[in-house]
């Protein structure tokens, strides 16, 4: 009998995403592999998503990412409306064997509150688990809701109540890792890249200062809050400063962006993104937070670009210092490591991606976790009350 999974990707971006979108990229990588393994996938997403699935369910026509960083009282109804639709869908049918949820906080809370008759659920934690202590520190999944992390380092930071619900971690994957070791080498440019949303935790301000200090050209690629292109941010005017990432960019990053040594190119997508990443001598992660899963780290390895990073979060788990990247706990040392990165071998990075981060490996691991979650729920249901 084939398994039917309701994959809840949430209301923020379409799947696959138009450019930026870590969770949506992971869902877009996982779903085709699950279907190849015979899993039926009902995708709860926005209607403009184009990923082939067995069924699509949506509340919103388009991704609501533009609203994500508005004040809470203006934005909280969006994820709630999406989840409300998902709950009604689950109540209306009996063929969903398991829910695989990716919606921060509200997905977990809603599924846990659904009661014993709802399907078993696996909620993937894509976030820093020091967040949401009131929820994570008191979680009661009713023996039906389990969680998984995206790295061991991330789960190690979780409060005990959340860890009690964990069935382990699954590293993130990217289609770029498939046969990455067979890909011909790419001519490297002289620049380094930071790929990701522009945010204090990702440390673009530090990266820009370091690049200027050591004289290495730096490309910043990614959105600033909801703004994907420099011209859109410029046109938005002062009102845009309500957004904390816009304030961070204007105050801490933009003073170093000279359009020459340090450039912000906005969000890059598709082949343009892959080529820009593959052509960099290194990708830089000057982190100020515990990076939970590192989609962009795995993508960098897959295209043969060594990683230079602060040794925080999942970085020591994903990167082997001296072989696939250079790590340090000392921010100041990052500049020297940028200069040293060209001694690392791009082929080693591609091999690592092909050996550890393929979509097929991620999907097989999730199928194991789906079985485990269903067994745990079934065992509990058989217990006498």
Closest CA to 274 of 178, 376, 207: 178
Nearer to ligand UDP, 53 or 193 (CB): 193
Nearer to ligand UDP, 63 or 294 (CB): 294
Choose one: 27-35, 155-163, 265-273, 315-323; the region binding ligand UDP (CB under 6 A): 265-273
Task: Name the minimum Å distance from CB 357 to ligand UDP.
Answer: 12
**Contact code string over 330-349 relative to ligand UDP, x by CB under 6 A:** --------------------
Residue of 196, 203, 226, 325 that binds ligand UDP (CB under 6 A): 196
Q: Which residues contact 347 (CB under 8 A, 6 or more apart)?
A: 181, 185, 304
Nearer to ligand UDP, 119 or 203 (CB): 203
List the 307-310 sheet strands across, edge first. Answer: 262-266, 218-221, 192-195, 282-285, 307-310, 325-328
Residue of 268, 287, 338, 373 that binds ligand UDP (CB under 6 A): 268
Q: Is the dihedral of CA 99, 103, 108, 109 positive or negative?
A: negative
Question: What whole-number distance in Å separates Cα of residue 250 and Cα of residue 255?
Answer: 7
Tokens 């990432």 appear where?
Answer: 245
For position 299 contacting ligand UDP by CB under 6 A, the verdict is: yes
Question: What whole-number distance in Å separates Cα of residue 230 and Cα of residue 236?
Answer: 10
Choose one: 38-46, 158-166, 195-203, 241-249; the region binding ligand UDP (CB under 6 A): 195-203
Question: What whole-number distance in Å separates Cα of residue 84 and Cα of residue 101?
Answer: 14
Structure tokens at 222: 């990614």
Number of residues that bind ligand UDP (CB under 6 A): 18
Tokens 């020591």 appear where?
Answer: 316
Nearer to ligand UDP, 27 or 96 (CB): 27
Nearer to ligand UDP, 19 or 346 (CB): 19
Closest CA to 56 of 41, 78, 37: 41
Closest CA to 148 of 131, 163, 128: 163
Nearer to ligand UDP, 141 or 286 (CB): 286
Question: What whole-number distance in Å separates Cα of residue 277 and Cα of residue 275?
Answer: 5
CA distances from residue 215 to 212, 227, 261, 263, 315 in whole angstroms, order as listed: 5, 28, 7, 13, 25
Task: Name the minimum Å distance from CB 289 to ligand UDP.
Answer: 9
Q: Are 125 and 172 in contact (CB under 8 A)?
A: no
For position 296 contacting ligand UDP by CB under 6 A, the verdict is: yes
Q: Which residues contact 182 (CB under 8 A, 6 or more apart)?
A: 354
Residue of 267, 324, 358, 377 that binds ligand UDP (CB under 6 A): 267
Task: Name the minimum Å distance from CB 21 to ligand UDP.
Answer: 5
Task: Name the minimum Å distance from CB 104 to ligand UDP.
Answer: 11
For position 243 contacting ligand UDP by CB under 6 A, the verdict is: no
Task: Name the minimum Å distance from CB 150 to ligand UDP.
Answer: 9
Choose one: 63-71, 130-138, 204-212, 288-296; the region binding ligand UDP (CB under 6 A): 288-296
Residues in 13-32 that interact with ligand UDP by CB under 6 A = 19-22, 25
Closest CA to 87 of 67, 65, 106: 106
Task: Name the minimum Å distance from CB 7 to ligand UDP.
Answer: 17
Q: Are 1 and 97 in contact (CB under 8 A)?
A: no
Task: Name the minimum Å distance from CB 214 to ligand UDP.
Answer: 23
Choose one: 93-101, 205-213, 295-303, 313-321; the region binding ligand UDP (CB under 6 A): 295-303
Task: Name the minimum Å distance from CB 22 to ligand UDP.
Answer: 3
**Per 3-state DSSP, what percentage of the chain is helix, strand, and coil (rounded to 5)?**
45, 15, 40
Closest CA to 29 of 16, 14, 18: 16
Residue of 221, 253, 307, 337 that binds ligand UDP (CB under 6 A): 221
For position 222 contacting ligand UDP by CB under 6 A, the verdict is: yes
The contact set with ligand UDP (CB under 6 A) reads 19-22, 25, 195-197, 221-222, 267-269, 273, 294-296, 299
């Amino acid at each position: 009998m084939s398994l039917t999974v309701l994959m809840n990707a949430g209301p923020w971006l379409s799947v696959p995403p138009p450019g930026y979108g870590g969770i949506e990229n992971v869902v877009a990588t996982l779903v085709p592999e699950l279907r190849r393994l015979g899993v039926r996938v009902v995708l709860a997403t926005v209607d403009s998503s184009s990923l082939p699935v067995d069924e699509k369910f949506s509340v919103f026509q388009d991704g609501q990412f533009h609203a994500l960083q508005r004040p809470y009282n203006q934005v909280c109804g969006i994820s709630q409306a999406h989840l409300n639709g998902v709950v009604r869908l689950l109540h209306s049918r009996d063929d969903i064997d398991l829910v695989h949820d990716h919606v921060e906080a509200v997905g977990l809370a809603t599924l846990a509150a659904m009661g014993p008759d709802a399907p078993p659920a696996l909620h993937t934690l894509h976030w820093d688990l020091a967040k949401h202590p009131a929820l994570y520190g008191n979680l009661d999944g009713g023996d039906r809701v389990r969680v998984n992390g995206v790295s061991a380092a991330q789960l190690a930071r979780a409060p005990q109540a959340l860890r009690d619900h964990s069935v382990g971690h699954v590293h993130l994957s990217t289609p770029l890792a498939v046969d990455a070791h067979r890909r011909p080498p790419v001519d490297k440019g002289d620049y380094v890249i930071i790929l990701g949303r522009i945010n204090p935790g990702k440390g673009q301000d530090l990266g820009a200062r370091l690049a200027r200090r050591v004289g290495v050209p730096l490309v910043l690629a990614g959105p600033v809050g909801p703004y994907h292109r420099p011209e859109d941010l410029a046109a938005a005017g002062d009102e845009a400063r309500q957004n904390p990432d816009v304030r961070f960019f204007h105050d801490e990053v933009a003073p170093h962006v000279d359009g020459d040594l340090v450039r912000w190119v906005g969000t890059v997508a598709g082949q343009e993104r892959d080529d820009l990443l593959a052509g960099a001598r290194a990708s830089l992660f000057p982190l100020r937070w515990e990076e939970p899963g590192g989609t962009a780290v795995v993508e960098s390895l897959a295209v043969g670009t060594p990683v230079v990073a602060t040794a925080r979060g999942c970085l020591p788990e994903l990167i082997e210092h001296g072989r696939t990247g250079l790590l340090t706990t000392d921010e100041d040392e990052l500049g020297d490591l940028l200069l040293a990165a060209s001694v690392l071998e791009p082929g080693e990075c591609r091999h690592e991606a092909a050996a550890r981060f393929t979509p097929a490996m991620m999907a097989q691991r999730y199928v194991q976790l789906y079985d485990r979650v269903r067994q745990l729920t079934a065992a509990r249901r058989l217990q006498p009350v």
